[in-house]
Amino acid sequence: MYNTLTTNVKDGIMEIAINRPDKMNALNQELMKELALAIDDVYKNTEVHSALITGTGPKAFVAGADISEFLALSAEQGTELAKLGHMVFQRIEESPKPIAAAVNGFALGGGCELAMACHFRVMSDNAKFGQPEVNLGIIPGYGGTQRLVQLIGKGKALELMMTGDMIGAEEARRLGWSNHVTTLDDLLPKTRSILQKIHEKAPLAIAKVIKCVNAYFKFDANGFETEIAEFASCFATQDLQEGAAAFIEKRKPVFKGE
């Protein structure tokens, strides 16, 4: 179905694997357009309750935007490229269904930005992240200057974006970039197990948590006001009736996302 990605759905999780292993899974424009379609499917497919994004092969999650496409671009075309990246990564960040990054190797440049657009990151112990764009005379263009600050703070983010240094998995976890570090073999099972745990919760409540947390970082939204509105709208859902009743009746809730 796609040239640059593979997707499969199992147990309600859509696994999206970036699939250009001979190019370290670098993000070319075709791939970004196909990723947009796959994310649309995550939104729309009622069999899909969450997604994980990973890279094909043992070396790279994604080693950045495809550098071979840069030389021919004008500033106007650069704007279009950045807008495409921002659109796709914003769709990931704003997805009402959780999307995790299973970072299986290098997550550099656009790969770091892709992982940061996901709701959380799990990293294998061989993986590294970084924003090495300054080595090429460019800067992050798919949200990296903003999301890296959000995740690890201004001082460390500035240092990393100015030195181009790569950070290993354990330090990434200490910095808060990654939530968990596993072996490469355990990476997908660990990521899937977190998503499965989320599947047991009320889907509308999960979507509201994502919306409220994103509002914290939006200059045109008041996070506290968003939380009041989203909290209040829970009272109009069947899921809340079911969750509260199940607690009182000492049984497991059966949520329907209604």
Q: Which is nearer to ligand COA, 69 or 186 (CB)?
A: 69
Binding footprint of ligand COA on the chain (CB under 6 A): 23-24, 26, 63-68, 106, 108-109, 132-133, 135-136, 138
Shortest separation between residue 147's beta carbon and ligand COA, angstroms: 15
Question: Of the listed 15, 34, 47, 113, which one is catalytic?
Answer: 113
CA–centroid distance for 205 within its chain: 19
Question: Of the listed 34, 93, 133, 230, which one is catalytic?
Answer: 133
End-to-end CA, the chain: 32
Shortest separation between residue 9's beta carbon and ligand COA, angstroms: 29
The set of residues, in sequence order, having a beta carbon less than 8 Å from that of 41 and lying 6+ positions away, is: 7, 14, 48
CA–centroid distance for 163 within its chain: 24
Shortest separation between residue 213's beta carbon and ligand COA, angstroms: 28
3-state secondary structure 2-66: CCCEEEEEECCEEEEEECCHHHCCCECHHHHHHHHHHHHHHHHCCCCCEEEEEECCCCEEECCEC
Evaluate whether 49 touches 22 at the Cβ level (below 8 Å). no
Q: Which is nearer to ligand COA, 128 or 208 (CB)?
A: 128
Residue 21 to residue 238: CA distance in whole angstroms: 45
Shortest separation between residue 148's beta carbon and ligand COA, angstroms: 14
Q: Which is nearer to ligand COA, 109 or 203 (CB)?
A: 109
Shortest separation between residue 136's beta carbon and ligand COA, angstroms: 6
Q: Which is nearer to ligand COA, 25 or 226 (CB)?
A: 25
Our answer to whether residue 133 is catalytic in this structure is yes
Residue 119 to residue 72: CA distance in whole angstroms: 33
Q: Which is nearer to ligand COA, 25 or 191 (CB)?
A: 25
Evaluate whether 222 touches 215 at the Cβ level (below 8 Å). yes
Active-site residues, by number, are 113, 133
